């Protein structure tokens, strides 16, 4: 594939990823009426802490709710991870100029790595807890739709050209004297 085409496809996929994450971050997770759901990560029960994340439905969960739940879990996990990383980074500035400079440089990577693992565990806990709540179509669509945004990121990293100059493959000819 040519350089310009790869760049356009990577841009379109990035836009789709952003749209899916924003959509997932703004939507709710469907659970059947009367379900006792408990998702605990590091002594925090997310169902009790954030009840506005969930919508109870009267009937069983179908493929449509599985797609919705998968995108919602992925989007909410990514948004919550970014918000937590930034909040801890901005609150973590210590006293003293030298410590502030060190935190300025190393704070975001430290917080990003920490919250990556915390929210990765939370993501899989949500999938594990929501998986048995519906029929086979729900289960399949939950797994597949929760993996779509991460797969888009992998595709973008594969497709994205490494160099911005289209003459990357051309070697410069030099004259020998």
Look up residue 112 and give its two tokens. 């990003």
Q: Contact, 55 vs 28, CB < 8 A? A: yes
Q: pLDDT tens string for the chain (177 positions)?
A: 577 788 888 888 888 888 888 888 888 888 877 767 676 666 667 666 667 777 777 777 888 888 888 888 888 888 888 888 888 888 877 788 887 888 888 888 888 888 888 888 888 888 888 888 878 888 898 899 888 888 888 888 888 767 655 554 554 555 554
Distance CA(111)–CA(158), nearest Å, equals 26
Q: For residue 41, what pLDDT is reported?
A: 63
By three-state DSSP, how is residue 14 classified?
Answer: helix
Distance CA(155)–CA(144), nearest Å, equals 16
DSSP string, 96-156: SHHHHHHHHHHHHHHHHHHHHHHHHHHHHHHHHHHGGGB-HHHHHHHHHHHHHHHHHHHHH
DSSP string, 22-56: HHHHHS-EEEETT-----EETTEEHHHH-GGGEEE
Q: For residue 173, what pLDDT is reported?
A: 53
Look up residue 131 and give its two tokens. 């998986």
The model's pTM? 0.72
């Amino acid at each position: 594939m040519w350089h310009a085409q790869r760049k356009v496809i990577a841009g379109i996929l990035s836009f789709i990823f952003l749209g899916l994450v924003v959509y997932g971050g703004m939507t709710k997770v469907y659970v059947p009426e009367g379900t006792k759901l408990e998702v605990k990560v590091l002594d925090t029960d997310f169902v009790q802490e954030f009840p506005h994340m969930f919508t109870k439905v009267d009937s069983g969960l179908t493929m449509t709710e599985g797609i919705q739940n998968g995108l919602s879990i992925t989007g909410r996990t990514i948004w919550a991870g970014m918000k937590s990383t930034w909040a801890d980074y901005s609150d973590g500035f210590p006293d003293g100029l030298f410590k502030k400079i060190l935190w300025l440089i190393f704070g975001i990577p430290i917080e990003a790595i920490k919250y990556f693992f915390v929210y990765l565990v939370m993501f899989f806990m949500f999938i594990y807890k929501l998986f048995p709540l519906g029929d086979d179509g729900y289960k399949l669509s939950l797994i597949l739709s929760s993996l779509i945004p991460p797969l888009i990121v992998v595709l973008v990293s594969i497709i994205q050209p490494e160099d911005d100059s289209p003459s990357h493959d051309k070697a410069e000819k030099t004259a020998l004297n």
